[in-house]
Amino acid sequence: MIKSAIQKVLSGEDLAVDEAKGVMDSIMDGQATPEQIMEILVALKQKGEKPDEVAGFVQSMRNHSVRIELRNQNAVDSAGTGGDSSHSFNISTAAGIVASAAGVTVAKHGNRSVSSS
C-alpha cells in the first residue's frame, strides 16, 4: 500500500481518504520502513497536503489511539512536546500539577522523549 502511495504522490497525484488511511495504518502497524515513512512525508510536503489526505491520516491515528475512560468529562488535557534538547523548564508538567492542586482533573501526556531534560 505505501509503495504505491509514494509513487502516486511523487507523480503529483492526491491520495483519497482511504488511501491515506492505509498509508498511516501501515506506519502505525509498524509495516512501513523508516525510509518509506520519510519518502511519503517528503513527497506529501513537496506536493502539498490535501484535506482528504489529512482526514485519512487522522482516521487511522484515532483508530490506533488508546482510549481511556474518565470519571470527570471536564478534564484538562496537558501535553508538552519535550525532547527539544534545550534543557528548558518543563512548564506543561508544572502547570498540570498546579491545576490539579486547584481541583482540576488533568490528563497529562507526552511523547517518547518524555521530558526536556
Question: What is the pLDDT, as a whole number, of residue 83?
Answer: 63
Structure confidence by residue, pLDDT tens digits, 48-78: 999 999 999 999 999 999 888 888 788 888 7
pLDDT at position 116 over 60: no
Percent of the chain with pLDDT over 90: 61
Domains of the chain, first to last:
2-64 (1.20.970.10), 68-117 (no CATH)
Q: d(Cα 18, Cα 38) in Å, to the nearest integer? A: 20
| Mean pLDDT across 68-90 | 76
pTM for this one?
0.70
pLDDT at position 104 over 80: yes
- Residues 50-76 as b/e (b if ≥16 CB within 10 A, e otherwise) read eebbeebbebbeeeeeeeeeeeeeeee
Among 33-42, 52-61, 106-115, the minimum mean pLDDT is found in: 106-115
